Chains A and B, each alone.
Chain A
Amino acid sequence: KNEVEQSPQNLTAQEGEFITINCSYSVGISALHWLQQHPGGGIVSLFMLSSGKKKHGRLIATINIQEKHSSLHITASHPRDSAVYICAAPWDTDKLIFGTGTRLQVFP
C-alpha cells in the first residue's frame, strides 16, 4: 500500500468546471506539497501547507493534518491547467514521499 495515495488517477473536464483532486497519506507529517508537472517534465511547486487552506489565483489547497487528507481545487478550469498534479509528503528529515499523480485534461 502506498503511503501517499491520490485520486482520481485520471480526470477529464470541460473548460470552466470545478476540479477536485484528493490526497491521503498514512505517514505522520507536518506539511504537504502540491506540485504541477507539465509535459516535458518540469515541476512547479503550487503549495506547501501545514494547516487550513491556501489560495493562489484559481487554485485552492486544503489540508486536515489529523485526518491525513488534503485536497487541491481548481475553479473555472482552463485548458492550460492540463497537467499532472502530484502531492508529496515530507517525513523523517526532508524525505519526500510522492503520490502517483493525477493526470488532468481540460478540454475547451
Chain B
Amino acid sequence: KAGVTQTPRYLIKTRGQQVTLSCSPISGHRSVSWYQQTPGQGLQFLFEYFSETQRNKGNFPGRFSGRQFSNSRSEMNVSTLELGDSALYLCASSFLGANTGELFFGEGSRLTVL
C-alpha cells in the first residue's frame, strides 16, 4: 500500500510569490489534513478536508487556502508569501479523520521564502 505522497519536497520562493503544495493520501482515505511546522511555533493545524469539504480551519490568514479533489488528493496554496511562511508543511491522511483513526503523515514539503 503506497504511503502519503507530498510534492514538491523542497522549494524556494521569494516574498510576494504564491505556492501550491500537493498531497496524495493513502488509497481509500477520505480525510486529508494539513499542518505547518516552524521552530518557533511548533506544529500547527491548518485545515482538514473530508470528501471534498473543508471541515475545520486553523488560525491562519486567508492567504492560506486549500481544496480536495474527488480522488481525495489535496492541494494547499499560500499566496503573497511572507518570510514567516518558511516552514515544513505536512499533510496527513486518515480513513475518517483524526478524531476516530490513525494518521499517516507524508514526508513534508519544506518551503523557504527569501
Contact = CB atoms under 8 A, between A and B. Distances in A.
B42 A42 contact: no
B105 A96 contact: no
Contacts of B42: 98, 100-101
B19 to A, nearest CB: 17
B48 interface: yes
B88 to A, nearest CB: 5
Contact of A94 (B33, B104, B108, B110): B33
A93 B107 CA distance: 24
Contact of A90 (B58, B90, B98, B110): B98
B55 interface: yes
Contact of B48 (A33, A41, A43, A93): A93
A45 B48 CA distance: 17
B101 A93 contact: no
A59 interface: no
Nearest to B101: A48
Interface range for B: 20 to 34
A42 B58 CA distance: 21
Contacts of A42: 105, 107-108
Given A93-B55, A94-B98, A97-B45, A41 B37 contact: yes
A101 B37 CA distance: 12
Contact of A30 (B99, B104, B107, B108): B99
A76 interface: no
A94 B105 contact: no
Interface of B: 31, 33, 35, 37, 42-45, 48, 50, 55-56, 58, 88, 90, 92, 97-105, 107-108, 110
Interface of A: 30-31, 33, 35, 41-45, 48, 86, 88, 90, 92-98, 100-101
Given A41-B108, A94-B50, 19 more contacts: A31-B99, A33-B102, A33-B103, A35-B105, A41-B37, A41-B107, A42-B107, A43-B90, A88-B43, A88-B98, A90-B99, A93-B48, A94-B33, A94-B55, A94-B99, A95-B48, A96-B33, A96-B45, A100-B42
